[in-house]
Structure 1
Amino acid sequence: MKFFLDENMNQGMMGHLTSIFRAHEFVGVRELCSKGMEDVDLFRHVADESCDVFVTGDLAQLKRPAERQACRDAGLHWIGVHQVHASGYHVVAGPASTLVHALPFILDQLTKGHAPQYFQLKKSERNNTQIFHRCGEL
Structure 2
Amino acid sequence: MNFLLDENFPANSIGYLRPMYQGHSFDRVVDGNYQSGIDDLTLFAEAQKQGVNVLITGDIRQIMGQDRLDERAACRAAGIHWLGIPQVLRAKGKERKWAQINSLLANLRYAVKHFESASEPTAILLQPGSFKLQAEKDFPQPL
Query: Unmatched 5+ residue regions in structure 2?
Result: none
1:6-25 equivalences in 2 (<5 Å): 6-25=6-25
Distance (Å, rounded) in 1 between the aligned partners of 2:27 and 2:51: 11
1:121 maps to 2:129: no
What amino acid sits opposite 1:82 in the alignment? P
1:59 corresponds to: 60
1:53-92 equivalences in 2 (<5 Å): 53-62=54-63, 63=65, 64-85=68-89, 86-92=91-97
Residue 14 (structure 1) shift: 0.7
For normalisation by structure 2, the TM-score amounts to 0.88
Give the share of equivalent positions with the same residue, in percent.
Answer: 29
In structure 2, which of residues 96, 99, 107 is the aligned counterpart of residue 102 of structure 1? 107
Residue 127 (structure 1) shift: 2.9
1:132 corresponds to: 135
2:51 corresponds to: 50
Distance (Å, rounded) in 2 between the aligned partners of 1:26 and 1:12: 12
Residue 88 (structure 1) shift: 4.5
Distance (Å, rounded) in 2 between the aligned partners of 1:121 and 1:74: 22
Distance (Å, rounded) in 2 between the aligned partners of 1:52 and 1:34: 19
Q: Which moved more, 1:27-36 or 1:51-60?
A: 27-36
Distance (Å, rounded) in 1 between the aligned partners of 2:108 and 2:119: 16
Alignment RMSD: 1.4
For normalisation by structure 1, the TM-score amounts to 0.91
Residue 89 (structure 1) shift: 3.8
1:55 is paired with a residue whose SS is: strand
1:124 is paired with a residue whose SS is: coil
